[in-house]
Amino acid sequence: MTICVGPRLAVFDCDGTLVDSQANICRAMEETFAAQRLNAPSRADIRRIVGLSLVPAIALLHPEGERAQHEEMAEGYRSAFRAMRVNAALDPEPLFEGVRDAIDALAAAGWRLGVATGKSDRGLRLLLEHHGLTDCFVTLQTADRHPSKPHPSMLELAMREAGAEPGKTVMIGDTSFDMEMARAAGVHAVGVVWGYHTPAELVAAGAGHVVSHASTLPAHLESL
């Protein structure tokens, strides 16, 4: 039997897991499609691609386009988001209920914490600063430096930076992309129901546990 030693690492997805960011993502994506004179996808469809990096996300929403157009639209999305920030048009991205308490409880129990997100470095930094969470995480992985989820690169580097082994690492997320990434990296996968994919999808993608409220996360993780 292999005994895992070393620190325990809990890696959180951001959009749909830590914060409710759907309003800003949907608005920026709608502006992106309008700039290309395309009909915007439904907000339900937009929510389903949250968590992916921009180019593959846009490719799913506009499969008729070519790579060059998807890249152009990704830059348009970034520009739309920057304009919303400059014009103070961004809606608040609130922490989901119980998330801050769960983070504090895990840290107090000795867990090292990280984030793996499709956001940019700048977007994640600003969000963590806004919520006073910057000092809570020992590793931050974003789309700026990795292939899109479900590629395991984010988790692999997070584990190296935190000094953690796969057997003592858990990925916490709201989408099948998060669960598939966890499976590809060989770590535990915990799904949350308050985000953008259904519990059945999370289980099908590899979630070993699905939690209904952030307040139950510490107990679930202690049972792994």
Distance CA 169, CA 113 (A): 10
Cβ contact 47:22 at 8 Å = yes
Distance CA 8, CA 151 (A): 22
Let me know how many helices (H) and strands (E) the chain has, helices first.
10, 6
Phi and psi for 116 in degrees, rounded to 5?
A: -130, 115
- To the query of whether residue 13 is one of the catalytic residues in this protein, the response is yes
Residue 61 CA, distance from chain mean position: 18
Q: Tell me the three state secondary structure of residue 162.
A: helix
Q: Of 9, 215, 19, which Cα lies nearest the Cα of 132?
A: 19
Cβ contact 223:202 at 8 Å = no
Q: Kindly report the number of other CB atoms within 10 A of residue 6's CB atom.
A: 14
Amino acid at 55: V
The catalytic position among 13, 20, 174, 178 is 13
CA atoms within 13 A on the CB side of 59: 10
Give the residue numbers annotated as catalytic, written as ranges: 13, 15
